[in-house]
Amino acid sequence: MNTIIAATWKELLRRKMLLLTAVLTLLFLAVFWYIAGTVALNVPDGTRMLEQFARRSAILSLGFFFGGFVVAFLAIFSSFSVISGEAEQGVLQSVLTRPIPRWKWYVGRWLGYVSLIGAYALLLFVSIVWITGVHAGMTRNYGDLAVSLLLFALMVPVLVSASMLGSSLFSGIGNGVFMTMLYGAGWLGGMVEKVRGVLPVEPDAQQTLSHIGVLLSLAMPADGLNRRMQFILTRGAGETIPFLTGGTPPSNAFVWYAAAFAIFAFGLGLWLFRRKDF
């Protein structure tokens, strides 16, 4: 299994996917540094602490708005063709003819993607929080920081599990489109919640929008985890940026659902892969 994990890492490096992501991330962090320094307030006397707190929340929201997208698309486009794509090229057939149990290959691939992309998510999270802390201060509640980091990292197994499951069912390109649309649906569910909280809407329509937002978020809970993470970091600072913050944050039950979603998608994908003919 260690060989499969190492091969997954080498594949991601060989495709230069991580290199391109790293270069673009450094560019983003440079721009984010400038934005954070421009938006933040320096108030040593503490007379405008509430406004500074609101601006800190806005900076975090901007940072993790990008962070959620880049982690999601890195996870999706790294693994969307891991099964169907290699089967179409004949690579998978040659690997599985060796005395390697199918479950070891699948689990090794999953661990390879989750570990490497999870490490990237960790570095991105620390970078965004550090830049925010330099310019606008940051909470010293390390419990909140630890929980937020875990929620941000949980996006990775959720997305990789769903992507590998889709790769067992669809072609490589088809699964890429499917996963992109599925993540977009989850993101739209979050936007519906934010719009419902920002714009004046009739009570009946507001309830309908709430149901639509919840259903879309349940279909793909990755963006919901990102919104829950931001709520914990900002402690519900409110609607500091319309359409980026605000709305009802996902509950703790939603976090447990997201974990169950990842486990179910992983288990179903493994079961389908073991029964699949190549």
> What is the tens place of the pLDDT at every residue in 220-269?
999 999 989 988 887 755 445 555 555 677 889 999 999 999 999 999 99
Q: 145 near 122, Cβ under 8 Å?
A: no
Distance CA 196, CA 201 (A): 7
Residue 102: per-residue pLDDT: 81
Residue 211: per-residue pLDDT: 81
Residue 110: per-residue pLDDT: 95
From 63, 121, 75, select the one nearest 244 (Cα to Cα): 63
Task: Give the pair of three-digit tokens for residue 211.
Answer: 């149901």
Question: pLDDT of 196-217, one tens digit each?
Answer: 666 666 777 677 877 888 899 9
**Residue 245 has what DSSP assignment?**
S
For 68, phi and psi rounded to 5 degrees? Answer: -65, -40
| pTM, full prediction | 0.89
Which helix (H) or strand (E) segment is 92 a member of?
Answer: helix 91-96
Residue 61: per-residue pLDDT: 85
From 213, 238, 233, 234, select the one nearest 224 (Cα to Cα): 213
Query: What is the mean pLDDT, run by run of 10 residues, along the chain of 278 residues?
Result: 82 80 91 86 57 77 89 91 73 65 88 94 94 80 89 96 93 90 90 72 73 88 91 65 63 94 96 81
- The domain of 182 spans 2-275
Tokens 């609101």 belong to 54
Domain count, the chain: 1
Distance CA 258, CA 158 (A): 7
Residue 157: per-residue pLDDT: 97
